[in-house]
Chain A
Amino acid sequence: MAAIAGPLRSYRSVFAARFMLMLQYRAAAVAGFVTQCWWGIIKVMVFAAFFHGATARQPLSFPQTVAYVWLGQAFLMLMPWWGDPEITEMVRSGNVSYERLRPLDTYFFWYARALAWISARMVPRAAMMFAFVALLLPLLGLGQWGLAPPPSPRAAALFVAGMVMAVLLSGAVLMLINLLVVVLISDRGPSLLATQTVTLLSGILVPLPFFPGWMRSFLFLQPCAGLADIPFRIYSGNLAGGLALAGLLLMLVWIIALIAIGRRLMERVMSRLEVQGG
C-alpha cells in the first residue's frame, strides 16, 4: 500500500479529471435513464405476475423484489461489462507506452480512472432513477410499484457503505478485464465474457435468491454478488444483522483479493509488453 499512500493527490486528480469529463455526456445519461425505466417497469410487472401465481413462500417478499429490480436499474452502469474504452483505445494506438512514463503505479493509475468512469456514468442515472421510483411514483399513488425506503436508518447506512464498496469492487473487476484486453490486444472476447458472467452472477438479470437452493452458497460467496445482490438485499432488509455485515466483509475480502491479483498481473503484463512500430 506504500505505493499509493504518497502520490494520493496524483490519483485523486486523475479520478477528478476523468469524472468531470464523463459528466459531459448528459444526453446519454437521459437516454439510458428512459430505457432503464422501461425495462424496470416490465421486470416489475413480470415479478407481479410471478408472485400472483406463486403458492410457495418466496425467498424475497414482493416489495423486496421490487426494490431489488429498481436498484438494479438505478445502478446498471456500475456493472463492469466492458473493458475501459480509454484503455482499449490506448492498446490499439500504442499509447499504452505513455502510461508507463508516468511516475505512478500503473495499476492504481488505471484503477483511479476506472472508478471515475464507473461512478460518473452511474451517479446521474441513479439520481434520476431514485427521483422517479422513490419520489414520483409514490406521489402519483403508485408507491407499491416504486422503491420503498429502507426499513431502518441502520440498513440505509449499511447500504450506502455497500454501494461505495460495490464501486470499488466493480473497478477491480474492470481492471482484470482491462488487463485481458492488453494481453489479447482486443476488447471483444473479454467484453463478451464479462457481460455474460457479470449479468448472470450479479443478480441484475434474476435476483440471486431466486436461483435453486443448492447454488445459493456459491452465488453468495462469488465476487459478483457484491456488485448488486448483497447491497440490494441490505437495502430492503432481506440481508440484515450479522448476515449484512458478513456480506460487506466478504465484499471487502474480494476487493482486496482482486486488486492484489490485478497488480500481480499488471507487473507480468507490463514486463512483457512490447510496443510495436514507431
Chain B
Amino acid sequence: MPQVLVENLSKTYRVSERRPGAWGAVQGLFARRYRLVHALRHISFSLERGELLGFIGPNGAGKSTTIKILSGILEPLSGRCEIDGLTPWRDRIRHVARIGVVFGQRTQLWWDLPVIDGFNLLRDIYRVPESEYRRTRDEMIGLMRLERLLDQPVRQLSLGQRMRCEIAAAMLHRPALLFLDEPTIGLDAPSKLAVREFVKTLNRRQGVTVILTTHDMHDIEALAERVIVIGNGVILADKPFALLRAEVFTERRLLADFVGAAPALDIPGAVVRNRDGNSIELSFDPAIISVPQLIESISSKYELADVHVEQPQIEEVIARFYDLHGASEA
C-alpha cells in the first residue's frame, strides 16, 4: 500500500470576471460573470514511504493546488486521495497531525515570539510528549544550526535564518510526510545549500517522505530522484529525474568561430540558432549527428578558429519542456 495515493483528482476554481471600464463596472453590479478555471484535471500518482518527489511546473500549473488538497486545506471537486489511510480534507485534524508543511512564501512561526517560544507553542498544539519533543528539538537545532537564533523574535530573523527555523518547526512533531512548497525561494546560496542538505538528511537518514515543489531546478537536481512535471492541471511526466533529463537533454550546442565571416550552414540534424560576425551557434541532436561528424562536416568546407560544445542549462531544458507541451503560463 503506497503512503500517498492520488486518483483522478480534479479541482475547478470559479473566477469572477468584469468587463473593462466604467460601463463594465456598472454591468458587474447586476450580473456577475464567472469563468471556470480547471486547476487540476484528473491527476493520479502514488508515492511510497521514504520517496523524495520533486513536483515541478510553471506558475499556475496546479502545483500549489495539489499541495493544498494533499495537506487537507482544500477540498477537490472530485477524485480520491488517501494518505496513510486518511482522506486529507475529510479527516483534516487527524491528517494534519501527521504531516509537516512549509510554504516558502508564508510563515508559520508567530512573528513576535522568540523562536524557542514558537517551538514550545507547537509542542503544545501538536501535543508532543516532553521527552520526545526535547530530543527532536535538540536534533533539529543541531542540524539547522539554530542555537544562536533561539532567543530572537521571528520578525528579526533574515529570510535564510527564518526558513531554517520554519523547516525545523515543521519537523517538531515528527511527521512521516513533509511538504515543502518553494522552500528555497528568495534564499542566498549558503542558505539554499543548508536547506538542501537538511532535506536530504531528513529523507535519506530518517526516512521522511518529502514532496517538494520548486522553480529552482538545482533543488531538483540536488534532491529529487523522481520528478512529476505538471502543466495546465495535467501530469506531463512522472519519471526518475535522470530519465527526464536524458530525454530532454538530447540537445547539445556547438559554438564555432571562423577565421572569416561565418558561413550559412545547412547540415542535416543541426539547426543554426544564431549567426553573428565570425561566430555561429548550432544546436544538434547527437543521436542524428555526432560531435566529430558535425565538426568534420564544417571543417572540411570552412576554416575554423575555435569550437566549443556545451549542454543547455537545466532551466532552459525545463522551459523547453513546458513549451513543447504547451504548458507555459498564458
Contact = CB atoms under 8 A, between A and B. Distances in A.
B124 A97 contact: no
A103 B103 contact: no
Interface stretch (A5-13, A66-74, A233-241): A5-13
A61 interface: no
A228 B137 CA distance: 45
Nearest to B93: A103
B108 interface: yes
A218 to B, nearest CB: 35
Contacts of B112: 21
B96 A9 contact: no
Interface stretch (B67-75, B233-241, B260-268): B67-75
Contact of B125 (A13, A93, A278): A13
B274 to A, nearest CB: 36
A149 interface: no
A271 B93 contact: no
Interface in B87-139: 92-94, 96-97, 99, 101, 103, 105-108, 110, 112-113, 117, 120-121, 124-127
Contacts of A274: 13, 74
A102 B124 CA distance: 11
Contact of B124 (A10, A95, A100, A278): A10
Contacts of B92: 100
A17 B113 contact: yes
A103 B97 contact: yes
B71 A278 contact: no
B317 to A, nearest CB: 25
A17 B106 contact: no
* Interface size class of chain A, counting residues whose CB lies under 8 Å from the partner chain: 20 to 34
A21 B103 CA distance: 25
Contacts of B73: 97, 100-101, 273, 275
Contacts of B72: 100-101
A214 interface: no
Nearest to A18: B110
A60 interface: no
B125 A14 contact: yes
Contacts of B94: 103
B78 to A, nearest CB: 15
Contacts of A98: 101, 103, 106-108
Nearest to A103: B97
B234 to A, nearest CB: 20
B181 interface: yes
B161 interface: no
A278 B74 CA distance: 14
A104 interface: yes
B124 A9 contact: yes
B125 A97 contact: no
Contacts of B191: none
Interface in A147-193: none
Interface string B55-75: 000000000100010011111
Interface string A89-118: 000011101101111110000000000000
A26 to B, nearest CB: 15
Contacts of A100: 72-73, 92, 96
26 contacts: A10-B124, A10-B125, A13-B125, A14-B121, A17-B110, A17-B113, A21-B110, A21-B112, A93-B106, A94-B106, A95-B106, A95-B107, A95-B108, A97-B68, A98-B103, A98-B108, A100-B72, A100-B73, A101-B72, A103-B93, A103-B96, A103-B125, A104-B93, A275-B74, A278-B103, A278-B181
8 closest A-B pairs by CB: A13-B124, A103-B97, A100-B73, A98-B108, A10-B125, A103-B93, A97-B73, A101-B96
Interface of B: 13, 64, 68, 71-75, 92-94, 96-97, 99, 101, 103, 105-108, 110, 112-113, 117, 120-121, 124-127, 181-182
Given A101-B73, A105-B93, A273-B74, 14 more contacts: A10-B126, A10-B127, A14-B125, A17-B121, A93-B106, A95-B106, A98-B101, A100-B96, A101-B101, A102-B96, A102-B125, A103-B94, A278-B105, A278-B181
